[in-house]
């Protein structure tokens, strides 16, 4: 008869290298549904992470329901995108309780982050009186650092924040509350009479002193509620109480300051998962062990562990999986134990997980390249437009439409190359099986009387924006999603371009496209003039 399978008696001793093994998800820049968050919590538990750092507020969106201040979600949770559409969402208090309980059942602690005093534009859009100026603003739809921050000189601003923290503390049983505290344009306080009066009254030195005053006051309030303050490393500016936990994102030099002050720290900077995959590969993460730094090994009781942050300026529910996995496998190795120098063995173990991820419909990414890099170029010789795609997986296909509608799993597809001979609005999205791997990408090709005609520049464009002259007559409309290299841009000189139509042509109108991104110092021209001959 068949002998039943048996497992030899064995004893296994295992323990984590670090107590704090976290993953941070930014749900403010882009909103993630509860089901997505729960699935990530399932995966975190499976791979031995134990802290879910929930980034709930930022300039571009306020995502947590606060009953005392309904406009935080009525106004602050929504923004108007460049195309005029409304984007946003928020979590009700019941949904938050549900997520916290779900995580607790899987031995994961949820730590909320409510940004203050900077990255607060969404809150100020809802309640302008929080800022120094009190002027109304809109919720930003772009990324960057904004000058609308909480006013340190207004007691009313502190009362508002304390009331918010009361509701936050009641929702999250974690002993920790993260307040952000990073990237504060403190110069705003220098121009504020209330802030300067507070500084004079309390003997504070400069705006760094005001920042320190703010953090200490919030820390004292949280301490009274049994909570420990956590913040990004800027909370040390102007002096920091050693009871706070410092999350280090600007490198070991900031960690050294925190450790010298006796603060416990979390290491985040080496694990930023919004870094493109080809710039921080699976192998890069595995072979680099930041915790081996003598600075950290000399303070084992102060180094609590680390976190892998996923900031969501460019991460959405459609492409976040690929940024998280498989790279979180290498990070998990660092957080749980000291990885051995055996990348080939690790890679075998990581690839075994692919079937499990696929079964959960996780759109995991490549090990060392982006999911897809699709570029559109015009070929003047054959009068055609060619989409050329570099794919992260051989079995990845690009489903597309030619009318601007969203591709589905049943749309026509191509692999590396798609040729087009007439203008169209090409929208493409990557699929593996029936799972879409990231948001769609659209190219607009329009009729152009100057199609393929030569263009001469009086002055070459700047190196960073070195799109060639052909880009002006290739029929491809510019847009914010195009890379810098697709644009022609000038620094310090005006654009001067000549188009040779080759023969007399009747022109009824001229359409031009310029890009403005003031955060990157890319500005529209003051005027445009045209001459014909």
**Residue 289, both tokens:** 């062990």
Which of 18, 26, 50, 58 is flagged as catalytic?
Answer: 58
**Residue 477, both tokens:** 């409309």
User: How far is Cα 152 from Cα 411, in angstroms, rounded to an integer?
Assistant: 55
User: How far is Cα 95 from Cα 117, in angstroms, rounded to an integer?
Assistant: 26
> Which backbone phi and psi does 230 adopt, to 5 degrees?
-120, 140
Which of 30, 119, 211, 334 is flagged as catalytic?
Answer: 119
Question: Which DSSP symbol is given to 291?
Answer: G
User: How far is Cα 210 from Cα 206, in angstroms, rounded to an integer?
Assistant: 7
Residue 480 makes CB contacts below 8 A (sequence gap 6+) with: 82, 515, 517
Question: Which DSSP symbol is given to 125?
Answer: H
User: How far is Cα 405 from Cα 149, in angstroms, rounded to an integer?
Assistant: 40
Nearest to 76 by CA among 119, 17, 138, 131: 138
Nearest to 404 by CA among 386, 428, 436, 382: 428
Residue 45 burial class via C-beta count within 10 angstroms: exposed 0-12, middle 13-18, buried 19 and up: middle
User: How far is Cα 270 from Cα 296, in angstroms, rounded to an integer?
Assistant: 14
Residue 76 makes CB contacts below 8 A (sequence gap 6+) with: 57, 61, 62, 122, 123, 125, 126, 139
519-526 long-range Cβ contacts below 8 angstroms, 24+ apart: 519/142, 519/143, 519/144, 519/145, 522/489, 525/494, 525/495
**Residue 502, both tokens:** 């080759």
User: How far is Cα 430 from Cα 407, in angstroms, rounded to an integer?
Assistant: 9
Residue 284 a catalytic site member? no
Which of 95, 183, 289, 484 is flagged as catalytic?
Answer: 183
Pair 223, 162: CB distance under 8 Å: no
Place of tokens 């595995």: 286
Residue 183 a catalytic site member? yes
DSSP 70-107: THHHHTTTEEE-TTS-EEE--B-HHHHHHHHHHHHTTT
Residue 450, helix vs strand vs coil? coil
Residue 289 a catalytic site member? no
User: How far is Cα 312 from Cα 308, in angstroms, rounded to an integer?
Assistant: 13
Pair 316, 310: CB distance under 8 Å: no
Work out the angle at residue 124's Cα, subtended by the Cα atoms of residues 241 and 227, and round it to the nearest 5 degrees: 30
Question: Which active-site residues does the annotation give?
Answer: 58, 119, 183
């Amino acid at each position: 008869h068949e002998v039943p399978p048996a497992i030899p008696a064995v004893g296994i001793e295992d323990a984590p290298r670090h107590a704090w093994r976290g993953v941070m998800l930014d749900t403010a820049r882009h909103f993630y549904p509860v089901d997505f968050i729960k699935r990530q919590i399932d995966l975190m538990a499976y791979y031995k992470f134990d802290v879910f750092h929930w980034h709930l507020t930022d300039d571009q969106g306020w995502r947590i329901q606060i009953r005392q201040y309904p406009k935080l979600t009525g106004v602050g949770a929504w923004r108007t995108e460049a195309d005029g559409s409304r984007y946003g969402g928020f979590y009700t208090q019941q949904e938050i309780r549900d997520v916290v309980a779900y995580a607790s059942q899987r031995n994961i602690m949820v730590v909320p982050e409510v940004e203050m005093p900077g990255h607060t534009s969404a809150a100020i859009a809802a309640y302008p009186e929080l800022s120094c100026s009190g002027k109304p603003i809109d919720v930003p739809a772009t990324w960057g650092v904004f000058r609308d921050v909480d006013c340190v000189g207004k007691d009313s601003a502190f009362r508002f924040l304390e009331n918010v923290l009361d509701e936050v503390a009641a929702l999250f049983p974690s002993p920790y509350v993260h307040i952000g505290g990073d990237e504060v344009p403190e110069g705003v306080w220098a121009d504020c009479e209330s802030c300067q009066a507070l500084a004079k009254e309390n003997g504070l030195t400069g705006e760094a002193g005001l920042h320190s005053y703010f953090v200490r006051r919030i820390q004292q309030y949280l301490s009274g509620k049994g909570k420990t303050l956590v913040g990004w490393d800027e909370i040390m500016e102007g002096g920091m109480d050693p009871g706070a936990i410092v999350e280090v994102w600007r490198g070991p030099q900031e960690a050294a300051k925190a450790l010298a002050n006796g603060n416990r720290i979390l290491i985040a900077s080496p694990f930023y998962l919004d870094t493109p995959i080809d710039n921080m590969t699976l192998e890069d993460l595995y072979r680099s062990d930041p915790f081996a730094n003598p600075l950290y090994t000399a303070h084992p009781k102060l180094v609590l562990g680390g976190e892998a942050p996923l900031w969501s300026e460019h991460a959405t529910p459609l492409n976040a999986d690929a940024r998280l996995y498989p790279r979180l496998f290498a990070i998990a190795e660092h957080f749980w134990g000291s990885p051995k120098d055996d990348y080939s063995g690790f890679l075998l173990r990581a690839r075994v997980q692919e079937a499990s991820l696929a079964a959960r419909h996780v759109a995991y990414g490549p090990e060392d390249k982006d999911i897809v890099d699709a570029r559109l170029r015009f070929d003047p010789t054959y009068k055609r437009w060619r989409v050329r795609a570099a794919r992260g997986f051989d079995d990845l296909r690009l489903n597309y439409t030619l009318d601007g509608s969203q591709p589905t799993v049943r749309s026509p597809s191509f692999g590396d190359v798609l040729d087009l001979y007439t203008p169209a609005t090409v929208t493409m999205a990557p699929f593996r099986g029936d799972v879409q791997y990231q948001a769609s990408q659209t190219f607009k090709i329009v009729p152009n009387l100057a199609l393929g005609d030569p263009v001469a520049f009086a002055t070459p464009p700047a190196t960073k924006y070195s799109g060639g002259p052909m880009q002006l007559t290739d029929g491809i409309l510019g847009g914010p999603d195009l890379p810098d290299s697709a644009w022609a841009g000038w620094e310090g000189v005006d654009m001067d371009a000549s188009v040779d139509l080759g023969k007399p042509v009747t022109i009824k109108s001229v359409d031009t496209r310029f890009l403005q991104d003031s955060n990157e110092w890319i500005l529209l021209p003051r005027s445009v003039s045209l001459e014909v001959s």
